[in-house]
Chains A and B, each alone.
Chain A
C-alpha cells in the first residue's frame, strides 16, 4: 500500500473509532435522509396540488356559460407554476415567489400564496432540504471531523515521527485530504441518491443532476482543503477549530445575509403600489379611452375608419368596441412589459451584485449555481412570469378579437337596454374551449447552465484557492519539521 493510502486508511480508522465523529456523521446522514424524503414528498405534493389547481382552473374556464367576451376577459384565468423535479433537491426561491397568478385584462397581478407568507417565522430559519444540509451543515461536519487531523498529530508528536519515517509533507496532506474527502463523499451520498431518484423516477434532467452533483462536490472539496490546511497551519487543534468555525460562520451564515442588504441598498426596487400608479399615469398620458377627445384614440379611430374605407364606426364590418379593447390592451401590455422589464433588470442587477459576494463566500457561489441548475432561481420564476404575461396577452387579445368579430357593434352598444341584444352578445361557450391551456416551458439546460455559470466559475475559483492553500500548508509543514 502506498504511503498516501496508508495515511488515509489510518485516518479513517481513527475517525471510525471516534465516538464524536461517528455521532456527527450519523446525525448528518440522518438529517440528509429526512431532508431528502420530506423534500421529495413536499415537491411531489406541491406539484400535484398545483397541477390539480391548474386542471381545475382550466376546467372552470372551459366550463363558463355563454357570455360577452369581455366578461371572460375579466373572468380571467389562473396559471400555476409547476415545480421542476430538481426542486426536490433545492427548492430555491419557490417558497418565496408564490406559485399562482390571476391573469385578467388590462391588469397585471402578482404571483401569490408563497409558502413563506403562509408560514410563521420559522420559515426564515432556513428550510431543511438536501441543498441546505450540504450547503450549511456539510462543511461544519467536515470541520468537526477534520480540524485535528494534523494539529493533533503535531501535538502528540507523531508528526515528527512520520517525518522521520521519510513521509513527505505533501504526501501527508494529500493522504489526510483523501481521508476527509472520503467523509465528504459519504456526506454527499444521500444527496446523490436523491438526485438519482429524481432522475430515474421523476424525469429530472440527467445533465442538470450531474452538474448539481459536480457543484456540491467542488464545494465540499474546497472545505476538505480548507479543513486540512487549517489543521496544518494553526498553532494547535483548538486554534484550527476556532478558525474553521469562524470561517464557516462568516461565509455560510453572515455573508449570505449581508450581501442582499448591500445589493438592496445599491439598487432599490419600486413598490407594487408605485408601479401601479406610474402605469396608470402613463396610460392616461398615452391615451385615455374614456376621454372622447383623446388624441391617441381619435387618431386610432381615424386610422381604423380609413383602413376599412368607411366614415363611421357603425359602418365597420367589425365591432369597433372590440378593436378599441384590443388597442387598449396593446398599450397596457406594452407598459406592463416595460415596467416588468425594468423591475426584472433591477432584480438581475441586485442578483449579480449579491452573487458577486461569492468571491467572499463559497456558500453564496454554490447557492447561486445550485438554484440556477435546479431551475428554482429567480430567473426560473421570471420565466414563468414572462410566459404568463405572454399567455395573458394572447387570451385577452383572443377574447377581444372575439368581441370584435362575433359581437356586433349595435348589440354591444345596446346590451344594457335591450334584453335581446344582451342575449346575442353572449357568444357560444365553445369559444372558451378554443383558448389553449397554459403550459409552462422550463428553461432548456443551456440557459440554466448559463445562469449557473457565474456561481460555477466562483466555485472553481474557490476550489483552486483551496488547492493553493493546501500547497502552502504543505510547505509550512515541511519547513516546520
Chain B
C-alpha cells in the first residue's frame, strides 16, 4: 500500500506549512490535565505527548476517560486545569487553529447520505480549505481501500467499514501533523484491520503524530509505538510494544485493570 504524495494532492493546507514560532513543537501535548463534567472528575492529572511520526494507543475500559481525552484535544471540552497543546495551540481557546492541524476519524463515521463518496470528500475537504482534484481523491480512496465501483454511489447504502474508508481517505488527504482516531478498527474484519494498520504505517512515515483511542489491545500492540493505559482519568502505565513486551502478559494485566 502506498500513500499519495501529499504535495500533489492537497493544495495549500496552510496548517502543514506554518507552525507557531518555536518549532519543532510537540504535535500533541497534555500536561496534568484535570477535567470535570458536572460534579464528576473525568480526567485527573492526565499527561501525555505524541511526537511526530509516532503512533500512540490509549487504552482503557468504559468511563476511563478515553473519549473525554479526544474531546479535549478537539477543543469540545475545556480542562479545569493543566495544559493541552495541539501543535502549540490551545484547542479550547484557539479551536479553529488547532483543528486546522488535526485530522479526526470518529468511531462511527457519519457522512452526508445524499452525496457520493467523492462528493462527501470534496465537500469536507473544501470545508477544510482544500480543493483536491478528482484524481487525488481517487488516490486517497485507493489508499483507504474503497472499491472503485462504489465511489460514485450515494453513501446511504455504505457499510460501516466503507464509511470509515471514506473518512480515512479524508485523513490521508488532509495531510496534517495530528491524526486522532476513535476506535478505528472496531467493526473492521481482520483483513481490513491489517490494511488499516498498514495505512497508519504510511502516515507515520510521513511524520504524522497519531493518537488512537481503543480497547483493542491486540490491534494496538500490532501498530502502536507506545501504549498508554488510562484509568480513573490518568495514565497508569505506559509500554513500548516494539521492545519485546509480552503481549499476553499485557493482556492479562490490562484485563485486570479494566476490571478494577
Answer whether A and B touch in the complex at a CB cut-off of 8 Å.
Answer: no
